[in-house]
Amino acid sequence: MVASFAKPPNDLPSAAGQIWQEYDITPYTSRITNNKQPERSIVDWILRETGTEMWFYRPLGILNADKEKLYVYHTPEIQKVVKNIVERFNRTRGQVQNVDLHMLTIEKPNWRSDFYTILQPINVATPGTEAWILSKENAALLINSLAQRPETRKHNSGRLTNHDGQTMVVEKITPVEFVRNLKWIPNQVPAFQPQQSRIDEGYRLELSCLSSMDNSTIEAVIKCNVDQVEKLAKVKVDVPVGNGTKQEVTLQIPQLVSWRLHERFRWRNDQVLMLSCGVVASPEPENDGVGLRIPGLPQKSNHAEALLFIEYRGPAQNATIPQTANKSTAPVKSP
C-alpha cells in the first residue's frame, strides 16, 4: 500500500517554531501585463534565495502563491528572507526596466593583453566561465575595440524591456534534420523507412533581473544554453531490399558540442557585468544549420570565445518608481 487517506491535522507541526504568514503581492502582480502567472517569479526568487531543499524536508515548510497572496509556513528566520523578497517586488509595482545586452564571439582570447587592467574579476561557480565588473565607460571602450577586430562577430545585441523580476528571453534556433535510424516495416518492399531526427541548433538566453530596495544595485539570474552540430558523421549500411539484393543507405550521427551557464550575479547600477564562457562552440549556427563560420576565418573554425555584456539602464522612460521603499511591509495575516 503506497498511500492512504487520512484526516488532516488541526494544527501544522511547529517543533522548529514555524509560523504561518500571508503576504499581499497585488502591488506587484496587478501591474504585470505580459504574464498570466506573475506570482511565479516571486516564488522563483524566494527559492533562489533560500534554496529548495528546506521546503521539502524537516522542518515542515509550505510555499504557495496565487495572484493576490503568497502563503508561507516556516521559521521566523525564513519569514524574514521571504519578507525582504516580497518588499523588493512590491516596491516597484511591476516597474518596467531596461537592460542593454551585447553578445560577441572572438576567435582568440588574447584580447585580455590590452584590457586586463580594467577588468575587476568576480567569483563564478560554472567551470570554464569567467566574470568581471567594468565601469560603463570602460565597457563601451572594450566593446568598440573588440568590434573592430576581424575575428570578432557581433550577435544579438540591443535593449531588452520587461517588468522587474520577470524573465527576458533571447534565442536563435535553427533546426537540423538528419537520418539517424531505419524503421523496419514488415511485408513491404523495401522493408525499411528512414527515420528523421532533429536537433535544435543555436542558443537560448534567459535573463531575470531584480533591482535592490534603493535602486543602487541590480541582481540577475542568467541561464544560457548553446547547442551546435559540429558535423554529421556518415555511416553507410547495407540493408536487404528483396530478391537477395541489398541497398546501401547512409545514416548520420551528429557530433554535438554544448555548453551551459546558470549563475546569479549582483552589481552596482553604474557598472556593467561581463561574462566569458571560454573558447567553446559558437552560439549561433550558420544558415546551413551545421556549424558557425566567422567571416574571414578558415571554414574549419567553429569555436570562439563567447563574451556577454549586461548593462542595467534603469526604469523605462514613462515609468515611475517610488523614491523610497516601503519599510513597513508586513504579512497581511499572521495567527
Phi, psi values for residue 145, rounded to 5°: -65, -45
Q: How far apart are CA 142 and CA 193, in angstroms?
A: 54
Q: What is the pLDDT of residue 2?
A: 53
Bridge partners of 315?
97
Q: How far apart are CA 14 and CA 302, in angstroms?
A: 57
301-316 mean pLDDT: 81
Query: Element (H or E) spanning 140, and its range?
Result: helix 136-147
3-state secondary structure 193-206: EEEEEEEEEEEEEE
pLDDT band at 89 (very low <50, low <70, confident <90, very high): very high
Residue 95: HSE in the Cβ half-sphere, 13 Å Cα cutoff: 25
Q: Comparing 10 with 44, which gets the higher pLDDT?
A: 44
Identify how many contiguous H helices and E strands the chain contains and give both numbers.
5, 14
Asked whether 225 and 215 are in contact (CB, 8 A), the reply is no
Q: What is the pLDDT of residue 300?
A: 41
Q: Comparing 78 with 180, which gets the higher pLDDT?
A: 78
How far CA 280 is from CA of 149, 167, 228, 305, in Å, comes to 19, 25, 10, 6
Name the packing angle between helices 39-50 and 76-92 (round to 10°): 140
Q: What is the pLDDT of residue 138?
A: 95
273-279 mean pLDDT: 87
Closest CA to 257 of 231, 294, 233: 231
* pLDDT tens string 166-219: 998 888 888 989 888 888 877 776 778 888 889 888 888 899 998 887 778 889
Closest CA to 228 of 162, 188, 173: 173
pTM above 0.85, yes or no: no
* pLDDT tens string 141-161: 999 999 999 988 887 678 888
SS3 label, residue 124: coil
Q: What is the pLDDT of residue 296?
A: 34
Asked whether 206 and 167 are in contact (CB, 8 A), the reply is yes
Bridge partners of 252?
234
| 83-103 b/e (C-beta count within 10 Å ≥ 16 → b) | bebbbbbbbbbbbbbbbbbbb
